[in-house]
């Protein structure tokens, strides 16, 4: 691939998180260095606490400019999807990708990727993050092309997908990678601050409100959950990314093993699930909400009312936990 210049689309999942952005930007920057014409297409808005990331200004948001994305899609030689195992997760965007001629490559760490969707599938669910896979791949291809900016992206993916090295990190490899990234010149402290010490006042108050006013505790099941209406989100001047992190907070309670955030979005209900190591929320997301994810961090989009989603969640807890 390095001899000729190809038109490549790099994309990732909607509601992009640190791993989605880190893995897609890192591979894009690397491929540009090899002489390819790369377009980064992100399905929807990027949270403000990731806007410092290298090359982020070059990302095209599908929701903001459908027409531009259609023309990029139809012209592409390759499509590389990172941190998602099925394009169908991106709803509206998936329709416009369905019939394009591009060769499809998936690089991801979610379980059970649909094999027939991809021409090449690089999938490993035993790693901390997709960014970890990307780092190994780029190192294999040419470690000298990994610059400080690529290193910052990889670090962001590993750091956020392990929830600040809290889970999925009881093995040495992610730490070995971080050591190499530091040698590339990244400032770990600065990145940590940019991602996690960058709440707006409104976002921080929404976190407090969610815990103090909205937390419900199903004590005999070791479950805590928070339900937020669209009106409540608007009261705190909701912006993309404002609810990120809320769902993990109840796991700090000693007897809570599973936590959920059920929040009302414009056209659907967003379900976020988190659990302590031994508990599998992926099953819950899949079985009851047609979603997916990882054993300890899963999610789904539910098309119904907020109260219906809560009812199903409570039934699921009663049945499964
Ligand atoms: P979050 O709660 O942060 O939105 O998502 C947590 C994890 O759940 C993500 O890393 C992703 O793997 C998975 N996830 C979230 N929403 C969906 C969804 O609608 N479908 C599937 N298959 N997985 C999801
Ligand atoms: Mn990930």
Q: What are phi and psi of 110, to 5 degrees?
A: -90, 155
Residues composing the chain: 321
- Tell me the pLDDT of the chain averaged across its residues: 96
Ligand 1 contacts CB of residue 113 (under 6 A) = no
Stretch 182-200: mean pLDDT? 98
Stretch 10-26: mean pLDDT? 98
How far, in Å, from the CA of 245 to the mean position of ligand 1?
13
Measured from the CA of 301, which atom of ligand 1 is nearest? 19
Using pLDDT thresholds of 50, 70 and 90, give the confidence band for residue 273. Answer: very high
Residue nearest atom 16 of ligand 1, based on CA coordinates: 299
Measured from the CA of 286, which atom of ligand 1 is nearest? 22
Ligand 1 contacts CB of residue 110 (under 6 A) = yes
Which pLDDT score is estimated for 116? 94
Which pLDDT score is estimated for 169? 65
CATH of domain 201-320: 3.10.310.30
Q: How many CA atoms are closer than 13 Å to the CA of 242, on its beta-carbon side?
A: 25
> Which of the pair, 254 or 99, is modelled with greater confidence?
254
pTM of the model: 0.97
Ligand 1 contacts CB of residue 291 (under 6 A) = yes
What angle (nearest 5°) sits at the alpha carbon of residue 43, between those of residues 122 and 146?
50
Which ligand has the nearest atom to the CA of 286? 1
pLDDT at 123 over 90: yes
Ligand 1 contacts CB of residue 240 (under 6 A) = no
Stretch 112-127: mean pLDDT? 95
Using pLDDT thresholds of 50, 70 and 90, give the confidence band for residue 9. Answer: very high
pLDDT at 295 over 70: yes
Domain boundaries, the chain: 7-196, 201-320
Q: Look at residue 107 and give its three-state secondary structure.
A: strand
CATH of domain 7-196: 3.90.1640.10
Stretch 30-51: mean pLDDT? 98
* Token digits of residue 60: 């095209």
Which pLDDT score is estimated for 91? 79
Q: Which of 128-137, 166-175, 294-303, 312-321 has the lowest mean pLDDT?
A: 166-175
pLDDT at 2 over 70: no
Which pLDDT score is estimated for 170? 77
- Among 19, 293, 300, which is best to mutate for testing ligand 1, by the most ligand atoms less than 8 A from CB? 293
How far, in Å, from the CA of 2 to the mean position of ligand 1?
34
pLDDT at 87 over 70: yes
């Amino acid at each position: 691939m390095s001899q000729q210049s190809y038109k490549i689309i790099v994309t990732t999942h909607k509601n992009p998180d640190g791993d989605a952005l880190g893995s897609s930007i890192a591979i894009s920057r690397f491929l540009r260095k090899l002489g390819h014409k790369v377009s980064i297409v992100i399905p929807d808005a990027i949270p403000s606490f990731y806007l410092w990331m290298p090359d982020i200004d070059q990302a095209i948001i599908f929701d903001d400019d459908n027409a531009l994305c259609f023309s990029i899609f139809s012209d592409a030689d390759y499509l590389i999807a990172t941190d998602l195992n099925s394009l169908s997760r991106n709803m509206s965007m998936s329709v416009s990708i369905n019939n394009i001629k591009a060769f499809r490559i998936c690089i991801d760490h979610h379980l059970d990727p649909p094999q027939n969707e991809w021409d090449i599938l690089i999938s490993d669910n035993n790693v901390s993050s997709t960014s970890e896979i990307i780092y190994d791949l780029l190192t294999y291809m040419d470690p000298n092309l990994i610059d400080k900016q690529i290193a910052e992206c990889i670090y962001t993916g590993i750091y956020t997908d392990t929830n600040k090295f809290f889970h999925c990190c009881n093995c040495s490899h992610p730490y070995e990678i971080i050591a190499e990234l530091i040698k590339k010149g990244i400032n770990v402290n600065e990145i940590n601050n940019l991602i996690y010490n960058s709440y707006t006042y409104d976002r921080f108050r929404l976190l407090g409100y969610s815990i103090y006013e909205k937390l419900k505790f199903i004590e005999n099941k070791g479950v805590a959950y928070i339900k937020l209406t669209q009106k409540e989100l608007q009261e705190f001047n909701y912006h993309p990314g404002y609810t990120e992190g809320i769902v993990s907070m109840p796991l700090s309670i000693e007897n809570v093993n599973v936590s959920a955030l059920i929040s009302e979005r414009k056209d659907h209900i967003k379900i976020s699930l988190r659990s302590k190591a031994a508990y599998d929320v992926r099953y819950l997301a899949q079985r009851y909400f047609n979603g997916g994810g990882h054993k300890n961090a899963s999610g789904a989009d539910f098309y119904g009312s907020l109260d219906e989603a809560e009812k199903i969640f409570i039934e699921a807890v009663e049945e499964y936990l």
